Amino acid sequence: MTGRLKPLVAGNWKMNGLRSSLEEIRAIAAFAGAGLPPLADIVICPPATLLTAAAEICKGSLLHLGGQDCRAEISGAHTGDISAEMLADAGASYVILGHSERRAGHGESNAAVQAKSQAAFRAGLIPIICVGETQAERDAGLALEVVGGQLSGSIASSAEGRIPVVAYEPIWAIGTGVIPTQKDIVEMHAFIRRELGINLASQGDAVEILYGGSVKPHNAGELARLENVNGVLVGGASLKSADFIQIVKAFA
């Protein structure tokens, strides 16, 4: 972990969660209760259908909420889409953008992710921009090149100097229970830090770089000790408050 940056632990619920799941958010919000010194920023990104109810629960707590995607436009004839302004209005302060499931499943290009990032800043949200290589790309020795291209193509900073969060999520580690070696994570995060310096100049040092992909309570401690790992983006293990809280504790 880079000492100067406050860790960020974010949960991505993906397409999971009904109103009955709000109990998990209630438990995390209670853990992140007001009055405790905030040692880490904690974010849950539930499906958009739960944001408003979750925001009610989070009132007075230090648990932040995020969306899982947004459209770049403010409003208009875009059936089924959600704007960054709508997410902010529903109580979000973050938004995950360019997740590999969106890049692959919805054909999102780097340029589309960058436009969404600018929309997030416009709406006052902090974008969490995801990058990561496939197994084939890693096997071919292309991991750094692929991630470098995604970064320079997708990231944006705001005119007022606000900066994104970046999440490195190797696609082969998502939902598989397999994570890269510590050496590979440290190498990639150091590379991302250098690239951020090129893309965002001095602001690059202030960007939190999260690791994501099969983060669980049992491996969070070792991840938290790695250089330039400023937090984690957690999928499956964020659905159960007890597991997620254990992961937060490893970073707090």
Query: 21, exposed or middle or buried, with CB in 10 Å at 0-12, 13-18, 19+?
Result: middle
User: What mask of x and - would describe binding to ligand PGA in positions 9 to 38, judged by CB under 6 A?
Assistant: ---x--------------------------
Instruction: Determine if 247 is a binding residue for ligand PGA (CB under 6 A).
Output: no
Active site residues: 99, 169
Cα atoms in the 13 Å half-sphere on the side-chain side of 100: 20
Judged by CB under 6 A, the stretch of 41-49, 106-114, 169-177, 182-190 that binds ligand PGA is 169-177
Smallest gap, in angstroms, from Cβ of residue 128 to ligand PGA? 9
Which CB sits closer to ligand PGA, 119 or 237?
237
User: What mask of x and - would describe binding to ligand PGA in positions 200 to 219, judged by CB under 6 A?
Assistant: ------------xxxx----
**Beta bridge partner(s), residue 8:** 41, 231
- Taken in order 233, 103, 170, 191, the sign of the CA dihedral is negative
Neighbours of 219 (CB within 10 A): 17
Judged by CB under 6 A, the stretch of 16-24, 33-41, 198-206, 235-243 that binds ligand PGA is 235-243
Which of 235, 243, 250, 252 lies at the binding interface for ligand PGA (CB under 6 A)? Answer: 235
Instruction: Determine if 69 is a binding residue for ligand PGA (CB under 6 A).
Output: no
Instruction: Determine if 68 is a binding residue for ligand PGA (CB under 6 A).
Output: no
**Beta bridge partner(s), residue 43:** 10, 64
The two structure tokens encoding residue 117: 């990032």
Check if the beta carbon of residue 199 is closer than 8 Å to that of residue 190.
no
What distance in Å separates the CA atoms of residue 141 and residue 160, rounded to the nearest whole number? 37
Query: 33, exposed or middle or buried, with CB in 10 Å at 0-12, 13-18, 19+?
Result: exposed
Smallest gap, in angstroms, from Cβ of residue 107 to ligand PGA? 18
What distance in Å separates the CA atoms of residue 53 and residue 40, rounded to the nearest whole number? 23
Which CB sits closer to ligand PGA, 68 or 157?
68
Which CB sits closer to ligand PGA, 28 or 174?
174
Instruction: Determine if 66 is a binding residue for ligand PGA (CB under 6 A).
Output: no
Which CB sits closer to ligand PGA, 66 or 91?
66
Instruction: Determine if 180 is a binding residue for ligand PGA (CB under 6 A).
Output: no
Instruction: Determine if 62 is a binding residue for ligand PGA (CB under 6 A).
Output: no
What distance in Å separates the CA atoms of residue 43 and residue 126, rounded to the nearest whole number? 11
Please give the residue ranges that form the binding site for ligand PGA (CB under 6 A): 12, 169, 174-175, 212-215, 233-237
